[in-house]
């Protein structure tokens, strides 16, 4: 009996020790490709004692991994870019509702998923970059996304391909605000105005303007910050200095907004720690770190945009369309882009 009790005691101690170790960690799958995020996770560990185990990869690959692992996944949090990606995982029932009042108060309703199953950590706008030597301030001042279908811009616009999720979400937002029929009419005119076959990443579009290959480019706002900061090299910095930025409006609602965001997995083994990490990432300190290193826009209103980005405008009007609409209308957006010949 004594030996049995002794054995049971050792087993219990082992279980408690394992639970104690497990309770001091959080497992993060992230497709954000910023090395500077690692410093945030180190700060979180220093403040809380909770170790952050990081698995990085491309968004699609990590989403497939989560699906393959299913209930056996050790992932607690999935962080990725573009609301449509988060919506797709939520649709497949992989997230749990985030009940933290602190998080809900920090993140506006239009930047959260249905049932609060995912939230924004940073914002980015999809804007117009233009050649100010060829386009006057008067011409650009009231230019909207819808105006880009006007034949006067024929042969003057560059943008990424239709398989890019950022473009799919822009089209999805137009569908949410205008319907499929009107958006398809717009897309036909827009595609007819391309200066070249869609190619390259967002920075390639900005460089095309600097090189005189086009007059207008559509790209995410933070790329100009990265380029002007010198982090992408002197050549790209010089290119960025040659272009101007305009915040277009959509249906009079404001500039298209997308996000970097996160959700807590439904079967997360460390869901409490996961909540603590998201609360930390939405703190003023963490938000300042994010915007000063990635040039995204803060989610928390009291934190001001990075100095480089502020020169383009601190208080532009943001479209308040729920970012969850981008996922809802993504399949229709992809089909529409294919129909109009957006390669």
Residue 321 and residue 182 share a domain: yes
Q: Looking at the predicted structure, is the pLDDT value of residue 224 above 80?
A: yes
Question: Can you list the positions of beta strands (E) in the chain?
Answer: 25-30, 51-56, 77-81, 119-130, 157-158, 216-220, 244-246, 257-264
Instruction: Over range 167-174, report the average pLDDT.
Output: 98
Report the sign of the C-alpha dihedral through residues 127, 164, 35, 227, in that order: negative
User: Rounded distance, CA 318 to CA 245, Å?
Assistant: 15
Residue corresponding to tokens 């897309």: 187
Residue 101 and residue 61 share a domain: yes
Q: What is the pLDDT of residues 261-308, one digit of tens each?
A: 999 999 999 999 999 999 999 999 999 999 999 999 999 989 999 999
Instruction: Over range 167-171, report the average pLDDT.
Output: 98
Residue 333 and residue 277 share a domain: no
Q: What is the pLDDT of residues 14-42, one digit of tens each?
A: 433 344 345 699 999 999 988 889 999 99
Q: Which tokens in the block code for residue 266?
A: 């439904």
Residue 239 and residue 150 share a domain: yes
> Which pLDDT belongs to residue 23?
63
Q: What is the pLDDT of residues 54-98, one digit of tens each?
A: 999 999 999 999 999 999 999 999 999 999 999 999 999 999 999
> Which pLDDT belongs to residue 259?
97
Helix, strand, or coil here: 334?
helix
pTM: 0.90
> Which pLDDT belongs to residue 252?
87
Burial class (CB in 10 A: 0-12, 13-18, 19+), 48: middle
Mean pLDDT of the chain: 92
Cα–chain center distance at 118: 12
User: Rounded distance, CA 324 to CA 306, Å?
Assistant: 26
What residue spans of 193-323 are helical by DSSP H?
202-210, 222-228, 234-240, 271-281, 284-294, 307-310
Residue 286 and residue 251 share a domain: no
What proportion of the chain, given as a percentage, has pLDDT over 90? 89
Q: Looking at the predicted structure, is the pLDDT value of residue 10 above 50?
A: no
Residue 95 and residue 173 share a domain: no
Q: Do the beta carbons of residue 227 and residue 237 sit within 8 Å?
A: yes
Cα–chain center distance at 128: 18
Give, in order, the Cα–Cα distances in Å from 246 to each of 75, 210, 292, 342: 39, 15, 21, 23
Instruction: Over range 47-52, report the average pLDDT.
Output: 97
Residue 281 and residue 250 share a domain: no
Domain count within the chain? 2
Please give the residue range of the domain that contains residue 17.
2-123+257-310
Residue 291 and residue 177 share a domain: no
Residue 116 and residue 87 share a domain: yes
72: domain CATH number is 3.40.190.10
| Cα angle, residue 41 at apex, residues 36 and 47 outer, rounded to 5° | 130
Residue 118 and residue 6 share a domain: yes
What confidence category does residue 313 fall into, taking pLDDT thresholds of 50, 70 and 90?
Answer: confident
Q: Looking at the predicted structure, is the pLDDT value of residue 319 above 70?
A: yes
Dihedral, CA atoms, 292, 293, 297, 301, nearest 10 degrees?
-40
Residue 282 and residue 168 share a domain: no
As beta bridge partners, residue 52 has 26
Per-residue exposure over 3-20, b if at least 16 CB sit within 10 Å of its own CB, e if not: eeeeeeeeeeeeeeeeee
Residue corresponding to tokens 């277009």: 248
Residue 159 and residue 115 share a domain: no
What confidence category does residue 9 fall into, taking pLDDT thresholds of 50, 70 and 90?
Answer: very low
> Which pLDDT belongs to residue 72?
93
């Amino acid at each position: 009996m004594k030996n049995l009790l002794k054995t049971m005691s050792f087993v219990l101690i082992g279980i408690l020790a394992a639970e104690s170790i497990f309770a001091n960690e959080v497992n993060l799958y992230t497709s954000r490709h910023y090395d500077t995020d690692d410093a945030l996770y180190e700060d979180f560990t220093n403040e809380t004692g909770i170790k952050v185990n990081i698995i990085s990869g491309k968004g699609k690959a990590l989403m497939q991994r989560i699906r393959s692992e299913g209930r056996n996944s050790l992932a607690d949090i999935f962080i990725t870019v573009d609301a449509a990606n988060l919506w797709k995982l939520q649709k497949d029932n992989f997230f749990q509702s985030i009940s933290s009042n602190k998080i809900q108060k920090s993140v506006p309703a239009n930047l959260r998923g249905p049932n609060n199953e995912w939230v924004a950590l940073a914002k980015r706008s999809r804007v117009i970059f233009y050649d100010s030597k060829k386009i006057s301030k008067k011409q650009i001042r009231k230019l909207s996304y819808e105006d880009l279908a006007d034949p006067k811009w024929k042969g003057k616009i560059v943008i990424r391909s239709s398989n890019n999720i950022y473009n799919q979400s822009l089209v999805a937002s137009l569908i949410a605000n205008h319907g499929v029929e009107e958006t398809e009419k717009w897309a036909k005119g827009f595609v007819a105005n391309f200066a070249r076959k869609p190619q390259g990443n967002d920075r390639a579009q900005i460089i095309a303007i600097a090189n005189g290959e086009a007059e207008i480019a559509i790209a995410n706002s933070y790329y100009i910050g990265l380029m002007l900061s010198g982090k992408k090299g002197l050549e790209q910095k010089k290119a960025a200095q040659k272009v101007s930025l305009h915040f277009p409006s959509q249906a009079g609602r404001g500039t298209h907004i997308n996000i970097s965001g996160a959700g807590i997995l439904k079967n997360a083994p460390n869901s409490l720690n996961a909540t603590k990490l998201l609360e930390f990432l939405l703190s003023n300190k963490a938000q300042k770190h994010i915007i000063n290193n990635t040039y995204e826009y803060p989610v928390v209103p009291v934190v001001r945009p990075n100095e480089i980005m502020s020169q383009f405008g601190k208080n532009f009007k943001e479209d308040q369309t729920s970012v969850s609409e981008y996922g809802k209308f993504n399949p229709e957006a992809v089909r529409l882009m294919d129909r109009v010949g957006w390669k």
